[in-house]
Structure 1
Amino acid sequence: MSVVSKLTQGVELPKMVKIKQNFDRSHISEEKIPQVVYDQLQREEIKLQIKPGMKVAITCGSRGIANINIIIKAIVDFVKQCQGQPFVIPAMGSHGGATPEGQKQILNDYGVTEEFLDCPVISSMETKQIGSTAEGHPVLIDKHAAEADAIIVCGRIKAHTAFQGSYESGLMKMMTIGLGKQHGAEVTHEAGFGKMAHLVPLFGNAIRKNANIICGLGIIENAFDQTYKLIGLTNEEILEKEPELLLEAKRMMGRILFESADVLIVDKIGKNCSGDGMDPNVSGRFGTPYASGGIQSERVVVLDLTNETHGNANGIGMADITTQRLVDKMNLEITYPNAITSTLINMVKIPLYLKTDKEAIRLALKTCNHADKLNSRIVRIQDTMHLEYIYISEAMLEEATRNPDIEVVGKPEKWPFDEEGNLHL
């Protein structure tokens, strides 16, 4: 038995109880999405700007958005109905290895293909200067978008993971960093996330004024990653209405319905769950001091990586303890560039890691300075995307029963460790 095993052997873990967290399930069904997109874009303020024969660039980002291929195709079809000539461009800063092929492959993986859309997908890292910001910064955007007759910006509006402001992840950021390609990503990230809340609208407004942005289509998802709202916005409405849509998006997002715990256990992290591996708006662990929220816990344990993340362990640096299994799965060639581009190298620091899940969880509780070890408060989640069913320790049951949005659906049970001390994740 190792020294660490001996140190953790005497730690008693509390029984855990399965609960159901109830969130708003309102959403737009897949078959209704094309009509909703059409209804949003057929307003005269938008529709009449598309003239016959116009070349119209439509943006598509790198995040995994529900039904994104259906949404983009609906925009393409709308432009065709207006007798325009649509084409889609990847708008994702430096993602996809900052190569045209890599960015197009990301869209292919989401089903956003030329065959499905029946229109060109033009991927390029070339940019063209279209003007300057109010503070004199040169503003560059995708060359093909800059040379198009019109641009429709499509993107999800949601809370950012590293900064807070009136505009976070959304259409303004899509223009600033997405359309800005590698240049836009570098300018904003090099300034640091402390400046991001200022730079996103600064560059976004310059792009709105100097490029032919005729409209935007904002997407909001519910706590179950379903399409909750699709809203068409004119150029001016992007500036005016995105802040209130961001607040709505924050109200709809999934979260842990407890303010605090001694230990938070996250079964898996990955880029398919969040750009940060685990969404800090849920976990409470942010990579910068410019954002806050989520559950507050003294220790965070991450047990494994998702298969979909392909070894990208970005976000593991926000954990206190992890496992040998996760470290063995890390692909540093994929993980490190992510942190270098964002400049948040703390996101990929490898925390203390142990051989088994049991040792990792026991050590987390053992090293809590403020926990009542006989009545410890532990929360366990699958990942930060799936929050309907989670597990809490017995000490949290009374609080759970007082919350009308929580149902207790299980009974107190011991941890289901196998003979080797691991959980079946």
Structure 2
Amino acid sequence: MSELLSQLVRDIPLPRMVKIRQRFDDTELEDPIAVLREQLAGEGCMDRIAPGMKVAIAVGSRGVSRVDELTKCVVDAVREAGGEPFLVPCMGSHGGATAEGQTEVLAHLGMSEERMGCPVKSSMDVVLLDKLENGLPVYADRIATEEADAIIVLNRVKPHTAFRGRIESGLLKMVAIGLGKQKGAEACHQLGFKYMAENVPAMASVMLDKLPIVFGVAVVENAYDRIRRVEAIPAEQMEAREEVLLEEAKANLPKFFFDAFDVLVMDYIGKNISGDGADPNVTGRYPTPYAHGGPDVNKMVVLDLTPESKGNANGVGTADFTTTRLVSKADWPGTYANGLTSTVCAPTKQATTLANDRDAIKAAVKTCNILDYTTCKLIRIRDTLHLGEIEISETLLEEAKQHPQIEVISEPYEWTFDEEGYLPK
């Protein structure tokens, strides 16, 4: 079958490529760990940790910039205050929705017991705290609920990939969905993303009221995946402050300076990049009708899966084409568990699969609905976290030269594939 598909795309031309640099606001903290240390010393944070307290630090599966260093800073501060810190994986159904899998996800992100110097207590067991007025149950991690005297949550604040609201992805989502484990995530998603803007803060409000959550650490990144702001926020201020930080995060989201093009090629998708494998806010490919924005792209190709994703290929279904390499790396039961939990199953489907990178890219060009394939406008990126230096087809060169925030940094060049049809890494 792969030979037949290769024959169908064999004569499709690929445009020459050019490297460019997109310039974004590069404001960042020179030493975010020092800033966090100072924030933790402020009122409403470490003064809430008494000697002998068992303190759960809830951390997730996202590739937050320097998340291991930030977490270690919190661990050390708790211990200096006389508390007994431990980590709780706070990631809904990720890691294959198993305790062992979630511990492994943390380790992949640099947050092992050895590195953090404290225990990692992982369980998928939950406690039913209450129910919302609409009937949705509110669950919380059993260990954090029953064994912790205080809980601290850490997360990046950013636009959500599937809905819009005053609160999207950040500390409150970490509480409602992450700390709720698989059952909590499932409950929050049960009525669909149409109501998530209401249900996330409502569930988080219940949990903030019934659990000993003392403060959260919020991170806002710039367009280069670097920390521009970190704040330690007392629990009672989290909702109001997160709403403000979300607007800052939206203003600093990386993006393409091209409104429309024919083909987008991504080297990697993965859970450490985005909950959707690739951030729809960047690609314009949303899994639901309740979010919007981004470029108009006809066809999308994903070539590979990050090791940190641990086989979770959520997001491959929003692409049009992928490779046998990615498919062979995917943990399909774990990927399907993501869809069963979120109730959005299209992103967990297997995209049309070609033998290698070359065939998958040619298939996208062949199907992008243009009369002359040599005019194809194509962009290639590493992933949606890295849009500073990208590759564009020669057919986009004149448009790039007219943009004040784009610098052309190479001459046009041909694609180079190895003997098996894959691009060099």
What does residue 218 of structure 1 align with?
Answer: 218
Cα displacement (A) at 1:200:
0.3
Distance 2:196 2:398 in 1: 41
Distance 2:311 2:54 in 1: 39
Secondary structure of 1:93's partner?
coil
Over the matched positions of the two proteins, sequence identity in percent amounts to 47
CA contact (8 A) 1:33 1:70 kept: no
CA 304–64 in structure 1, closer or farther in 2 if over 3 Å, else same:
closer
CA 394–169 in structure 1, closer or farther in 2 if over 3 Å, else same:
same
Give runs of aligned pairs for residues 18-417 of structure 1, distance below 5 A. Answer: 18-29=19-30, 32-135=31-134, 137-147=136-146, 148-369=148-369, 373-417=373-417
CA contact (8 A) 1:45 1:234 kept: yes
Distance 1:3 1:242 in 2: 52
CA 11–110 in structure 1, closer or farther in 2 if over 3 Å, else same:
closer
Distance 2:105 2:3 in 1: 44
CA 5–214 in structure 1, closer or farther in 2 if over 3 Å, else same:
closer
CA contact (8 A) 1:134 1:206 kept: no
Distance 1:390 1:191 in 2: 38
Distance 1:3 1:136 in 2: 52
CA contact (8 A) 1:134 1:202 kept: no
Distance 2:122 2:4 in 1: 54
Cα displacement (A) at 1:229:
1.7
CA 377–108 in structure 1, closer or farther in 2 if over 3 Å, else same:
closer
Cα displacement (A) at 1:7:
4.5
Cα displacement (A) at 1:244:
1.7
Cα displacement (A) at 1:132:
4.0
CA 196–359 in structure 1, closer or farther in 2 if over 3 Å, else same:
same
Runs of 4+ in 1 over 6 A off after TM superposition: none
CA contact (8 A) 1:130 1:146 kept: no
User: Counterpart amino acid of 1:118?
Assistant: G
Secondary structure of 2:44's partner?
helix
Deviation sequence 1:392-417 (CA, Å, 0-9, x none): 12222222122222100111222224
CA 401–357 in structure 1, closer or farther in 2 if over 3 Å, else same:
same
Distance 1:2 1:128 in 2: 53
Secondary structure of 2:273's partner?
coil
Secondary structure of 1:195's partner?
helix
| Range moving further from structure 2, 65-74 or 267-276 | 267-276
| Range moving further from structure 2, 337-346 or 370-379 | 370-379
CA contact (8 A) 1:301 1:364 kept: yes
CA contact (8 A) 1:215 1:234 kept: yes
Cα displacement (A) at 1:249:
1.7
Secondary structure of 2:120's partner?
coil
Cα displacement (A) at 1:215:
1.4
Gaps of 5+ in 1: none
CA contact (8 A) 1:60 1:154 kept: yes
Give the total of aligned pairs. 423
Distance 2:124 2:379 in 1: 44
Distance 2:311 2:48 in 1: 45
RMSD: 2.7
User: Counterpart amino acid of 2:58?
Assistant: T
CA contact (8 A) 2:37 2:73 kept: yes
What does residue 423 of structure 1 align with?
Answer: 423
Secondary structure of 1:231's partner?
strand
Secondary structure of 2:375's partner?
coil
User: Counterpart amino acid of 1:63?
Assistant: R
| Range moving further from structure 2, 304-313 or 246-255 | 304-313
CA 60–312 in structure 1, closer or farther in 2 if over 3 Å, else same:
closer
User: Counterpart amino acid of 1:199?
Assistant: N
Secondary structure of 1:298's partner?
strand
CA 363–166 in structure 1, closer or farther in 2 if over 3 Å, else same:
same
Distance 2:422 2:101 in 1: 36
User: Counterpart amino acid of 2:17?
Assistant: M
User: Counterpart amino acid of 1:292?
Assistant: H
User: Counterpart amino acid of 2:167?
Assistant: Y
TM normalised by structure 2 equals 0.89
CA contact (8 A) 2:97 2:337 kept: no
Distance 1:254 1:12 in 2: 30
| Range moving further from structure 2, 155-164 or 143-152 | 143-152
Distance 2:297 2:323 in 1: 19
What does residue 15 of structure 2 align with?
Answer: 14
CA 362–63 in structure 1, closer or farther in 2 if over 3 Å, else same:
closer
